[in-house]
Amino acid sequence: MAVGIFDSGLGGLTVLNAAQKRLPDVGFLYYADSLHAPYGVRDADDIYNLTRTAVQNLWDRGCNLVILACNTASAAALRRMQEAGVPEGKRVLGVFVPLIEALTERQWGDNSPPREVEVQHVALFATPATVSSRAFQRELAFRAIGVDVEAQACGGVVDAIEEGDMILAEALVRSHVDALKRKMPEPQAAILGCTHYPLMAEAFQQALGPDVKVYSQGDLVAESLTDYLQRHPNMLGDSAGGFLTTGKPGVVTDRATQFLRRQITFEAA
């Protein structure tokens, strides 16, 4: 029995890794749309169509629950997919929810009026598509008041990570943090709004300084998924789990193994 995890590339492996540690008895079927990565530079319709195709593939393979472990897909496609209708017995969830819950210290289902929260100045680092969608700001505004969010589109970081060029990725992180600080000199918290970015968490923290709390998604999503499956055990589905890619399996396998520092093997989707 497996839960589906979808990402445009390898970034969702940070979510998978945390989920496997938290839920060792649960199987996961990971689907990387490597052929079309990165999503962060695509338009909203393109992202929606690619995401819907991938999620349908996972549903067809027996996953009742699919996690969009891709902030760009969550921002551009999740609400639209839910509004279009999800097959009976199937669910698709995004990675924004646990992050918003942590930042606002309230459950997603809490529909009370927005209220003040402790953190007032938030730096958001994300892909260009996620930034342009303003999905994070929209969801945050439903639950909190008086929070100033300054977003920085981090072009090039995902590409560098996917190519395994961590030196370039670190240099880009420092550049993007410098650009953000010119707009918001003293952020209280920083959101790593892309599942690739936890791999660069130390670089973000160093560039931001020790007084800035950095929120990363892997552990938050794993904790939220654990709670969800306890309440909805029927969502485990009947897939056997594994790793799928629309790209070249050998190439993706090599990069993923480097990415997670353990051997995993991708098959063609």
CATH number of the structural domain spanning residue 233: 3.40.50.1860
Q: 211 — phi, psi (to 5°)?
A: -85, -5
Q: Are residues 155 and 231 in the same domain?
A: no
State the average pLDDT for the chain. 92
The answer to whether the pTM exceeds 0.85 is: yes
User: Running DSSP on this structure, what letter comes out for residue 125?
Assistant: E
pLDDT (average), residues 235-262: 89
Task: Please check whether residue 37 is in contact with residue 8, taking contact to mean a CB–CB distance below 8 angstroms.
Answer: yes
Q: Are residues 209 and 225 in the same domain?
A: no
Q: Which pLDDT belongs to residue 143? A: 84
Q: Which pLDDT belongs to residue 234? A: 85
Q: Which domain holds residue 40?
A: 2-95+218-268
pLDDT at 1 over 70: no
pLDDT (average), residues 115-120: 88
pLDDT at 215 over 80: yes
Instruction: Give how far Cα 161 sits from Cα of 39, 171, 200, Å.
Output: 14, 12, 9
Q: Are residues 87 and 32 in the same domain?
A: yes
**H/E segment holding residue 32:** strand 27-32
Q: Which pLDDT belongs to residue 55? A: 97
pLDDT at 107 over 80: no
Pick out the residues of the known binding site: 7-8, 39-40, 71-72, 195-196
In the three-class reduction of DSSP (H, G, I as helix; E, B as strand; rest coil), residue 166 is classed as helix
Q: Are residues 120 and 10 in the same domain?
A: no
Pick out the residues of the known binding site for substrate: 7-8, 39-40, 71-72, 195-196
Catalytically annotated residues? 70, 194
State the total domains in the chain: 2
